[in-house]
Chain A
Amino acid sequence: MTISQGNLGLAYRSLKAAKGRSFLTMLGIIIGVAAVVLVVCIGQGIKDQISGQLGRYGKSTLTIQPTSSSGSAGVFTGLSGTSSNLLSENDLRVVQKTKGIATAVPVSTSSGSMRGDHTVNSPFIVATTAEFTDVINQSIQYGGFFDPDIDSKTVVLGANIAHKLFNDNSPLGQTLTWRDQHFVVAGVFNTFSAPPFSLEANFNNAVFVPYSTAQDLSGSVLGMYQILAKAKPDADQRQTTDAVQAALTASHGGSRDVAVLRADETDAGSNKTIHLLTVLVAGAAIVALVVGGVGIMDVMLVSVTERMHEIGLRKAIGATNRQIMRQFMAEAFVLSATGAIIGVAVSCAVVGLMRVYTSLQPVLVWQVLVVAPVVAIAVGLFFGSMPALKAARKDPIEALRHE
């Protein structure tokens, strides 16, 4: 039964009659919509993961790290400390004594190969103190954290490095050799959530050794590239941050060469970058969408020329300009709407696949799922209106002569 001769039905049928061409036209819209949706979803996913980093250090955790110039607490300060520009034990003590700080732990790095069942030549070695687990917000999968007061020759492993050193064997209680000394593995961390594109150190690859032991073995003062401090639960974050900053500035003789960052501050910094990137790439994707619209215009123009006779006939039996216009607008609408729906479906599928198969964890943002198709349809209608107008304004007799 095909009597429902609405414009949309007609449009659908005439587009179906030229399947291949219709699909190619829609391809522009499909790619445009899918690109916009994917970029925004991936961007949002990265932002969410970085926000998830709050959980890694804990909300009340302050990150103290050296800067070359004051106030440039940017995104790329994660590992920027050089040997000439590191924090000292004195700094650690200053921080620990500041009002409102519950604990502060050093984060230093050391070098040398580690030998377990397998040898890892230059692992990421983090030297810290026993209070580390109080500051960071991460549970231990097996065993416990080391306590140098009981045994100075113990280490704790990140999930990845544990696998590298001991394969599938349980690393707990195994012996590691580092700088000709034997260490016992006291525990293994659960996997740290490590956001992609983050310049923060990935603790999953880290071997945690006691700070004092590392200092003894290296035979010199071990610089700290970061101090992690935890504020007291009742302390005001901002005040505490300012207090730490003031104390450190004072102990450094008035030069502000240390940055004190709140957890949400580091977060904000990287979010800004990701946001900017998302906007830029989404902009490029919108250009793709507009190009898709030009494709619609192109195909519609061909369609109008091809169906000139039909237009003439419809006019001969009484179709007004507006009715012809509407018919072709309906076609543009069906083209762009179908393309938009397919585009959204494709991007949803890709988001799903990415979540399963890659470390990116894109998130479906419903706003973009609505806005992208609406923009696509608007673009399609805009570019479809020109050919539709051309069709509508044809002189009936001229159009009829066209075969």
Chain B
Amino acid sequence: MPLIELKDVSKLYGFGDATNVALDEVSLTIEPGECIAVMGPSGSGKSTLMNVIGLLDHPTLGDYHLNGKKVSRLRANQRAKLRRDEIGFIFQSFNLLPRLTAMDNVSLPLLYKGVSVGKRMKKAWDMLERVGLGDRAYYYPRQLSGGQTQSVAIARALVNDPQLIIADEPTGNLDSGSSRLVMELLSEIHKTGNTVIFVTHNPELTRYATRVVYMQDGTVKYDERTKLGEVGRYARSVMYAIPETTEEDDLAGVSAIMGVLHKRDATAVEPTKPKTKSKKAAKSKAKRRTNAAARKGSAK
């Protein structure tokens, strides 16, 4: 039985003419034990997809089965309980409560589950040990480095033994050293049998994944299984497209972006297209242009 089954899930914002499509009939099946890297330009719907899978957001249309149970129309409290027991969330901006110690932050989901104080402490301690921060249990978030803070957040996500770990750009705010630490932790969690979904902009990090999903314009554009330790093929094409801009190109402005787009379109291998409907050419081109600009900005 698949862990996650999304069927034609759409998420719309706004009404009428101002309607904004964040997810456009996404269908995705995830088996237990997968480690999935979700890639895609900003605004492609990655985060919305994470929020829908993580039960933070309702899909506007479509069905979502978690563990074979239909969850797309659950009530708020039942969703909260599923989030608490089945899903661990890791955010880009860490999202620890600043006034609580690492220990208290980690034990918060246990508190909401109604676990007794003694058990909370023990479990939180174990989790902090597991992420290598046993000696930082009584530190406040502001006293920890970025990598350590994210480790605490991972410990918090793990503390209720959820099946599914969702990490929305867990390394987005971290330097490469800390990124590696966090990714090693996530891959370790994956190896112990959890299903991990993480969003990243860094193609290198797809090495940790068994499957790479590439999103664009609210749809899954490309879905590929990879071996652990290998960069996904499509990810690689993105990775090698970026460094081709030089200082001069930057100065040249728009024409440079156009140049990059041409080169990328020429080199990008686009194997088997997923079954999503083809977008209107003009719209997708415009979108891609802005995406390229955004990527260029982040590459600098």
A residues with a Cβ closer than 8 A to B are 2-5, 13-14, 17, 309-310, 313-323, 396-397, 400
Contacts and interface: CB of A to CB of B under 8 A. Distances in A.
Interface stretch (B98-106, B203-211, B280-288): B98-106
Interface in B66-123: 76-77, 80-81, 83-85, 89, 95, 97, 99-101, 103-104, 107-109, 111-113, 117, 120-121
B156 interface: yes
Contact of B85 (A14, A310, A318): A318
Contacts of A4: 117
Nearest to B95: A313
A321 B112 CA distance: 11
A317 B117 contact: no
A330 to B, nearest CB: 13
- The 7 nearest A-B residue pairs measured at CB: A318-B84, A320-B80, A397-B57, A397-B56, A318-B112, A320-B77, A317-B109
B121 A318 contact: no
B99 A13 contact: yes
Contacts of A318: 80-81, 83-85, 109, 112-113, 160
A246 to B, nearest CB: 79
A396 B56 contact: yes
10 contacts: A2-B101, A3-B117, A17-B99, A309-B95, A316-B54, A317-B89, A318-B83, A318-B113, A320-B80, A322-B77
Contacts of A322: 77
Contacts of B157: 317
Contacts of B117: 3-4
Contact of A314 (B81, B108, B160): B108
Contact of A2 (B57, B95, B104, B120): B104
A2 B76 CA distance: 30
Given A317-B84, A321-B77, A3 B99 contact: no
Nearest to B156: A317
A315 B108 contact: no
Contacts of A13: 99
Secondary structure of the A contact surface, majority rule: helix
Contacts of B104: 2-3, 5
A315 B97 CA distance: 13
- Residue among A314, A318, A321, A400 with most chain B CB within 10 A: A318
Given A3-B104, A3-B120, A3-B121, A321 B95 contact: no
B51 interface: yes
Contacts of B84: 317-319
Centre residue among B76, B109, B121 by max chain A CB count within 10 A? B76
A320 B112 contact: yes
Nearest to B84: A318
Nearest to A403: B93
Contacts of A400: 56, 95
A321 B56 CA distance: 13
Given A396-B56, A397-B56, A397-B57, A317 B99 contact: no
Contacts of B107: 3, 5
A318 B157 CA distance: 10
A204 B11 CA distance: 88
Contacts, number: 69
A78 B180 CA distance: 94
Given A3-B121, A396-B56, A313 B97 contact: yes
Contacts of B121: 3
Contacts of B80: 315, 318-321
A309 to B, nearest CB: 8
A133 to B, nearest CB: 73
A315 B81 CA distance: 10
A317 B112 contact: yes
A14 B99 contact: yes
A303 to B, nearest CB: 13
Contacts of A320: 76-77, 80-81, 112
A364 to B, nearest CB: 39
Contacts of B77: 320-322
A40 B157 CA distance: 55
A77 B160 CA distance: 80
Nearest to A392: B76
A5 to B, nearest CB: 5
A59 B137 CA distance: 75
A320 B82 CA distance: 10
Contacts of A314: 108, 112
A17 B98 CA distance: 11
B108 A310 contact: no
Contacts of A396: 56
Given A3-B117, A397-B57, A319 B112 contact: yes
B108 A317 contact: yes
Interface in B113-160: 113, 117, 120-121, 156-157, 160
A317 B83 contact: yes
Nearest to B85: A318
A22 to B, nearest CB: 14
Nearest to B89: A316
B300 to A, nearest CB: 25
A321 B76 contact: yes
A310 B93 CA distance: 13
For A17, A313, A320, A321, the residue with the greatest tally of chain B CB atoms inside 10 Å of its CB is A320
Contact of A5 (B108, B113, B160): B108
Contacts of A17: 99
Given A3-B107, A313-B95, A314-B108, 19 more contacts: A3-B117, A3-B120, A5-B108, A13-B99, A14-B99, A315-B56, A316-B54, A316-B56, A316-B83, A317-B109, A318-B83, A318-B84, A318-B109, A318-B112, A320-B76, A320-B81, A396-B56, A397-B51, A397-B57
A276 to B, nearest CB: 51
Contacts of A5: 100, 104, 107-108, 111, 120
